[in-house]
Structure 1
């Protein structure tokens, strides 16, 4: 499924930054906001380009998982096992967050998936709660790990 530039800016980039942040926290990597934001922007732009290719929907997620594991292992020097576990946990949580948030929004506003998917503004708005949820979980994870 292709993504517009507005979706990239207002949903894709914040989502990827929250994914990278949560991965850093779960893998116990040093939180460096500048690196996290740069990696999130890079990942979002990379995924945006992948989604432009004529490939089956979902393949971009597998590529994104592999890229984030690569980044954690080679740039952040986190062990392969810890990186794989952290990234998989974060993506499972993303799927959970997307499912919960989409169902709540579609039920609350009586909208179908097609209605949301075919409206750029609704797509962006429907992605905001999951990013907020992921940032909240990152905040809680950070507080727990500081104890």
Structure 2
């Protein structure tokens, strides 16, 4: 399915930046803004390019999971298996939030899913709450991990 360029810029890129942010938080990797932004933009353009190809819908998701795992490994997650698991969990979180937000907004505002394909502005606006929720989830998880870390006790080394 071809994505209009404006949808890529206003919905696709922010969504992928949120995905990378959540993946880094789950992996407990440092959030370096320039790297998160760059990887998010690269993933968004990869999804855009893949969707232009004559391949079945959903293949782009599999490719993005693999690319996200590779990027996580490059950012410092040494275990590639764990990188894939984190990528899967992150994409699952995206799918759950996307489905939940879309379903809720369709009920609240009374439009059908077909309207999303026919109305670009509506499609972009309906996609924004899930992006915001991904960032909120990242923030809450980062705070949780920070609290968890403060309760870890390191053994004191006695100095002679």
- TM-score range with shorter-chain normalisation? over 0.9
Residue 24 of structure 1 corresponds to: 24
Post-superposition shift, 1:82? 1.9
In structure 2, what is the Cα distance between the partners aligned to 1:54 and 1:114? 22
- Map 1:1-147 onto structure 2 (within 5 A): 1-73=1-73, 75-78=74-77, 79-147=79-147
Post-superposition shift, 1:72? 1.2
- TM-score using structure 2 length: 0.89
List runs of 5+ in structure 2 lacking aligned partners: 148-160
Tell me which of the two structures has the higher relative contact order, counting C-alpha pairs closer than 8 angstroms and 6 or more residues apart: 1
1:63-110 Cα shifts (integer Å, max 9, x gaps): 10011111111x213111221121111111111001100001111111
Larger-Rg structure: 2
In structure 2, what is the Cα distance between the partners aligned to 1:55 and 1:116? 22
In structure 1, what is the Cα distance between the partners aligned to 2:76 and 2:26? 14
In structure 2, what is the Cα distance between the partners aligned to 1:142 and 1:31? 10
1:15-72 Cα shifts (integer Å, max 9, x gaps): 0000000000001111101100010001101110111111111010001001111111
In structure 2, what is the Cα distance between the partners aligned to 1:136 and 1:46? 25
For these two proteins, the number of residue pairs brought into alignment is: 146
In structure 1, what is the Cα distance between the partners aligned to 2:15 and 2:88? 15
- State the Cα RMSD in Å: 0.8
In structure 2, what is the Cα distance between the partners aligned to 1:44 and 1:108? 29
- TM-score using structure 1 length: 0.96
Equivalent residue of 1:111, what SS? coil
In structure 1, what is the Cα distance between the partners aligned to 2:32 and 2:25? 11
Equivalent residue of 1:146, what SS? helix
In structure 1, what is the Cα distance between the partners aligned to 2:108 and 2:24? 33
